[in-house]
Amino acid sequence: RAEIRATAAGRYRYYQNVCAQSYSFVWWDWARWEREIDWMALSGINLAPAFAGQEAVWQRVYRNLGLNQSEIDKYFTGPAFLAWNRMGNLRRWAGPLPPAWHIKQLYLQYQIVERMRSLGMTTVLPAFAGHVPQGILRVFPRMNATRLGRWSHFDCTYSCIYLLDPEDPMFQVIGTLFLKELIKEFGTDHVYSADTFNEMTPLSSDPAYLSRVSHAIFRSMTGADPEALWLMQGWLFQHQPDFWQPAQVRALLHGVPLGRMIVLDLFAESKPVYQWTESFYGQPFIWCMLHNFGGNHGLFGTVEAINHGPFAARRFPNSTMVGTGLVPEGIEQNDMVYELMNELGWRQEPLDLPSWVTRYAERRYGASNAAAASAWRLLLRSVYNCTGVCVNHNRSPLVRRPSLHMDTELWYNASDVYEAWRLLLNASTELGSSPTFRYDLVDVTRQAAQQLVSDYYLSIRSAFQSHALPELLTAGGVLVYDLLPELDSLLSSHSLFLLGRWLESARAMATSDREAEQYELNARNQVTLWGPSGNILDYANKQLGGLVLDYYGVRWSLFVSVLVESLNSGRPFHQDQFNQAVFQVERGFVYNKKHYPAVPAGDTLEISRKLFLKYYP
């Protein structure tokens, strides 16, 4: 075979979002990590974080500084929420971390960095961003640390983390101590990640203060490694644009020598930051596609934006772009978009998308099939072609707490998905034995069912509002007793759509029953309530067999019965009262201790066909 040589236009092809460490990778064993790293190598990824095991090193550093174990336990969150502990958003929730967790993660990290480096990748290690546990103030009472505000919908019970003042001498001591310890443990490729103000408002907007913070962080890195390069997420600039005006952005970026920082323009396909910051005021940046929030299922993409965005960024006046990146908050969804983005990292100009996706279908299924290719071209022009500022949170009524004001807007023609579903079923006689085809059939059928849920919701709402009890009972009955159970059995027929697989992988990390229970609660809470009281409710929603029936289904059942009761009694529907009642249902699911199978059941093709015959509009 002839050797194929290609030259990428940028130095880096980056992969991974800090949040994916919690939403997707948290329960992975080495076998699963190994597959991911091999996929990264095959995709040409050459820069990626290696974040496992850092809490073990932090614990060592905190103990050396004089903290006791209970002070450390009050700081670390449970495994499923560590991403936000690392960024100074959250503490304690769903914790503490058992000793066995640290040991397992350390060993994983050894394997991860070894494999990544052996395949020619540059690993990015974590560094000190300035956040400290409260216990440190007992040991160093004169230390100058200030509490940051609350994060998201959490109060100070679980957020309001202390930030060390950049001028405090302990800043350098802690930062350098941690990094030296980390390098001793794992070696280094000289690139470090630190996010101080991720979704956290700084204590002052004074540019001099912001420069001091970034200067202190960088100095603590070079104290341990003179060659240090700082990799920083640029999410904060577009997340809080009122705070991060040009003067503030420039100050933070210029606290570090030019060329010693790489900024990830994290959401460049929808809200690029390089355009309004003169290409990050001279610091190198990577053009990243974020694409997914919370690891939600739901067909989605911004193919036109990613097909043109990186090339426009390279041509930008005085562009400092040094590569492209994939930074989804959660993976195992919408494979096509990631394959496309990976390919664009190697291209010198945009692709002809319809012909690319036709070839993609053939590569994916190992055979060419006219119906499958047509289905993909339909999906390409519809669900995968969101234009304007697109934020892909799945807001379908299916996965949201029911109310009379739910969002059913789509950015595409629903009929294109129904037609793609029909075409894939036509292709199933030829392609039915391909595992990737079966996965896509589940995914497209799931999307069609998600659309149907919105239709039934609209029928339920209008029946209720026009006091039509028979119509309410009919629409509610079909949704609760047929459509949702059918969707659940479809999802249960494929291993990648099983709640049991997520829970089983959490329990498999444990070394005792008590740990297994804690990890399972972590896993259940993250995909539902996200916090003790539904603080970030359904942010990380998934469509999984078991979850659709026992969580979303039970919620819809309660909603329909409360509406029926309201019409029967003549008493108005109160959302607040419903929310209190439905919270008990949501919480009940997290603690139900029910065992969910981790092995699929039923024939995907048959179930999809049955759904089609019943529901195809």
Give the pLDDT confidence of 408-452 residue by residue, as tens digits: 999 999 999 999 999 999 999 999 999 999 999 999 999 999 999
Residue 7: predicted pLDDT: 84
Are residues 428 and 369 in contact, defined by beta-carbon separation less than 8 angstroms? no
In a domain, residue 56? The reply is: yes
In 10 A of CB 410, how many CB atoms?
A: 14
261 and 201 in one domain?
yes
Band of the pLDDT at 391, cuts 50, 70, 90?
A: confident
In a domain, residue 298? The reply is: yes
438 and 328 in one domain?
no
Tell me how far CA of residue 383 lies from CA of 19, 333, 392, 568, in angstroms: 24, 13, 11, 40
* CA-atom Rg of the chain in angstroms: 25
- Rounded to 5 degrees, what angle do the CA atoms 489, 491, 494 make? 110
Distance of CA 252 to the CA centre of its chain: 26
109 and 28 in one domain?
yes
Closest CA to 410 of 389, 382, 374: 382
Which residues are CB-neighbours of 462 under 8 A, at least 6 positions away?
none
3 state DSSP class of 54: helix
335-355 average pLDDT score: 97
Closest CA to 328 of 294, 360, 280: 294
Instruction: Tell me how long the chain is.
Output: 617
Structure-token pair, residue 311? 């090339």
In a domain, residue 235? The reply is: yes
Residue 140: predicted pLDDT: 98
Residue 123: predicted pLDDT: 98
DSSP string, 368-424: --HHHHHHHHHHHHTTTB--SS-------GGGS---SS-----SS-HHHHHHHHHHH
Band of the pLDDT at 581, cuts 50, 70, 90?
A: very high
Q: What digits encode the pLDDT tens for the residues 6-15? A: 888 899 999 9
Distance (Å, whole) CA 509 – CA 471: 48
Distance (Å, whole) CA 420 – CA 554: 30
- Is the pLDDT confidence value at 566 over 90? yes
Which residues are CB-neighbours of 170 under 8 A, at least 6 positions away?
140, 143, 164
Closest CA to 402 of 563, 233, 273: 563
518-542 average pLDDT score: 98
594: CATH: 1.20.120.670
Q: Would the CA dihedral through 41, 43, 49, 52 be positive or negative?
A: negative
Mean pLDDT rounded to a whole number for the chain: 97
Are residues 72 and 133 in contact, defined by beta-carbon separation less than 8 angstroms? yes
Are residues 181 and 139 in contact, defined by beta-carbon separation less than 8 angstroms? no
- Is the pLDDT confidence value at 89 over 90? yes
Residue 179: phi and psi, rounded to 5, are -70, -40
Residue 1: predicted pLDDT: 79
Are residues 199 and 239 in contact, defined by beta-carbon separation less than 8 angstroms? yes
**Count of H-run helices and E-run strands, the chain:** 26, 11
- Tell me which residue range forms the domain holding 474: 370-399+410-497+543-615
470 and 415 in one domain?
yes
Residue 8: predicted pLDDT: 84
Band of the pLDDT at 34, cuts 50, 70, 90?
A: very high
Element (H or E) spanning 214, and its range? helix 207-224
462 and 417 in one domain?
yes
Q: What digits encode the pLDDT tens for the residues 127-161? A: 999 999 999 999 999 999 999 999 999 999 999 99
437 and 299 in one domain?
no
Band of the pLDDT at 287, cuts 50, 70, 90?
A: very high
Number of domains in the chain: 2
In a domain, residue 534? The reply is: no
| Local structure of residue 293 (DSSP, 8 states) | S
In sequence order, the β-bridge partners of residue 385 are 302
- Is the pLDDT confidence value at 392 over 90? no
In a domain, residue 515? The reply is: no
In a domain, residue 1? The reply is: no
Distance (Å, whole) CA 156 – CA 91: 9
390 and 343 in one domain?
no
187 and 310 in one domain?
yes
Distance (Å, whole) CA 276 – CA 458: 41
In a domain, residue 222? The reply is: yes
Are residues 282 and 320 in contact, defined by beta-carbon separation less than 8 angstroms? yes
Residue 573: predicted pLDDT: 98
In a domain, residue 517? The reply is: no
What crossing angle do the helices spanning 435-465 and 414-431 adopt, rounded to 10°?
150
Cβ burial, residue 531 (10 Å; 0-12/13-18/19+): buried
| Local structure of residue 274 (DSSP, 8 states) | G
Q: What digits encode the pLDDT tens for the residues 293-334? A: 999 999 999 999 999 999 999 999 999 999 999 999 999 999
Residue 6: predicted pLDDT: 81
417 and 341 in one domain?
no
Residue 2: predicted pLDDT: 86
Residue 458: predicted pLDDT: 98
291 and 434 in one domain?
no
153: CATH: 3.20.20.80
Residue 390: predicted pLDDT: 86
Q: With b meaning 16 or more CB within 10 Å and e meaning fewer, what string describes 3-30?
A: eeeeeebbebbbbbbbbbbbbbbbbbee
Tell me how far CA of residue 73 lies from CA of 39, 63, 96, 535, in angstroms: 36, 12, 5, 22
Band of the pLDDT at 32, cuts 50, 70, 90?
A: very high
Distance (Å, whole) CA 343 – CA 334: 15
329 and 289 in one domain?
yes
346 and 374 in one domain?
no
Closest CA to 220 of 180, 190, 161: 180
